[in-house]
């Protein structure tokens, strides 16, 4: 496992989250100034200096539930609220999109280009806010400093760590199914065509050498694909042509996206019920959440602007049905960390959660968006 994986995982999932929220804000005809405020607030919180300092510390990945808790709070860093079912769908889309990108990276190092694609798009959301843009560019420089000198082997370890994190997730996404990049069982289709990794040759030739390193024989073979040489390497600079398209916004064209549990995922209860079996890393996981959320400084909105609920489904009825039919073992609703002996840390995390309350704004009566905050209070 690589201890340098968490920043890449968090930033890429966060980028996908912003793509989806931007698409849904437009689809629900949320006024432009209000939609812009939501994205600005989330990005500002996401790239907060103290928060990023904690994120970039070398550390192992923790459970999906722990990371999901961070995104719950991040998604609610503004006046927008998400129902539990919509938050589930949001997280499903985020994870499956980034899993697809990691699987298709031509080289392990290209996961850095995927990250830069996300950051480039995020900069597009905040062009009219120099202060937040500066935050994002500082993280770009930190990424370059942290990952720029890593070897191919270290990037391979990062890629394997990411794939291990995603290995049990086989959620079907309608957009992927329509584009035929995902099978009906939720597994992705690996292409046998297109550019080969930068610095490598198109397959089809075997060279044989003698003991002195002299080439003595060539043998050609049919590879069964349709490969071409990569035109050029993507840019790792602050601004430049990334070449690689993985990590760009696939929701830029307004297309409805649905998620469905595959049969394989429904049968993964013994492996996915992380909240039942005692977790030997429980104390560390609680520390992880407390540190990250302690760094997630959320500015209180200055005005009395009312909040609003965002629905990731077409109708409220679809959202309610999704909440009822989601397999219990795949729900992220509660993190049950077995760390009762560490009462002080539990109290500290509860205090941090309380401080992260965005605002005491008027809430809709029986609001569907309030159940997430109630869940967080019960952690």
82: helix, strand or coil: strand
pLDDT in tens, the chain (379 residues): 889 999 999 999 999 999 999 999 998 888 989 999 999 999 999 999 988 998 999 988 888 888 888 898 888 888 888 888 888 899 999 999 999 999 999 999 999 999 999 999 999 999 999 999 999 999 999 999 999 999 999 999 999 999 999 998 899 988 899 989 999 999 999 888 888 999 888 999 999 999 999 999 999 998 888 898 988 998 999 888 999 999 999 887 655 566 665 544 444 433 333 433 444 555 666 666 666 766 666 555 555 566 777 877 777 777 777 777 766 555 554 444 444 445 555 565 565 555 444 444 444 433 434 444 444 444 4
Tell me the H-state helices in the chain: 6-27, 32-46, 49-55, 64-75, 84-104, 110-125, 130-147, 152-166, 174-178, 263-266, 269-272, 282-295, 316-325, 343-355, 370-377
Residue 356 tokens read as: 């992260």
pLDDT at 188: 94
Q: With 0-12 CB in 10 A as exposed, 13-18 as middle and 19+ as buried, what is 145? A: exposed
pLDDT at 72: 87
DSSP state of 252: S
pLDDT at 285: 67
Pairing state between β 226-228 and 259-261: unpaired
Please provide the DSSP assignment of 88-143 as one string. HHHHHHHHHHHHHHHHH-SSTTHHHHHHHHHHHHHHHHTTT-HHHHHHHHHHHHHH
The residue to which tokens 């390193």 are assigned: 213
DSSP state of 205: E
The rounded distance, in Å, linking the Cα atoms of 299 and 78 is: 9
* Of residues 377, 317, 265, the one with CA closest to residue 85: 317
pLDDT at 82: 87
């Amino acid at each position: 496992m690589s201890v340098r994986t968490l920043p890449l995982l968090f930033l890429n999932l966060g980028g996908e989250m912003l793509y989806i929220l931007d698409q849904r804000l437009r689809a629900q005809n949320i006024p432009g100034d209000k939609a812009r405020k939501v994205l600005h607030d989330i990005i500002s919180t996401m790239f907060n200096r103290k928060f990023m300092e904690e994120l970039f510390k070398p550390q192992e990945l923790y459970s999906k539930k722990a990371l999901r808790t961070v995104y719950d709070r991040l998604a609610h860093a503004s006046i927008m609220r998400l129902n539990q079912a919509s938050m589930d769908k949001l997280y499903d889309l985020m994870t499956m999109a980034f899993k697809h990108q990691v699987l298709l990276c031509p080289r392990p190092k290209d996961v850095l280009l995927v990250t830069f694609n996300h950051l480039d798009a995020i900069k597009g959301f905040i062009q009219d806010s120099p202060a937040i843009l500066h935050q994002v560019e500082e993280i770009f420089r930190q990424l370059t400093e942290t990952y720029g000198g890593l070897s191919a082997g270290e990037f391979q370890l990062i890629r394997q760590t990411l794939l291990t994190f995603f290995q049990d997730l086989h959620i079907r996404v309608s957009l992927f199914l329509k584009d035929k990049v995902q099978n009906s069982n939720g597994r992705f289709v690996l292409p046998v065509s297109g550019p080969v990794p930068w610095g490598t040759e198109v397959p089809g030739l075997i060279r044989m050498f003698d003991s002195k390193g002299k080439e003595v024989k060539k043998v050609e073979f049919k590879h069964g694909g349709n490969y071409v040489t990569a035109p050029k390497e993507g840019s790792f600079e602050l601004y430049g042509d990334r070449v690689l398209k993985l990590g760009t916004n696939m929701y830029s064209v307004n297309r409805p996206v649905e998620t469905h549990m595959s049969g394989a995922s429904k049968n993964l209860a013994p492996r996915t019920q992380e909240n039942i079996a005692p977790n030997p890393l429980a104390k560390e996981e609680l520390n992880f959440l407390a540190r990250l959320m302690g760094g997630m400084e959320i500015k209180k909105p200055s005005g009395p602007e009312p909040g609003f609920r965002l629905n990731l489904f077409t109708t409220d009825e679809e959202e309610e049905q999704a909440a009822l039919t989601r397999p219990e073992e795949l729900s992220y609703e509660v993190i049950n960390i077995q760390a009762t002996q560490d009462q002080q840390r539990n109290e500290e995390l509860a205090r941090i959660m309380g401080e992260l309350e965005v605002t005491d704004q008027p809430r809709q009566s029986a609001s569907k968006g309030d159940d997430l905050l109630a869940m967080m209070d019960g952690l």
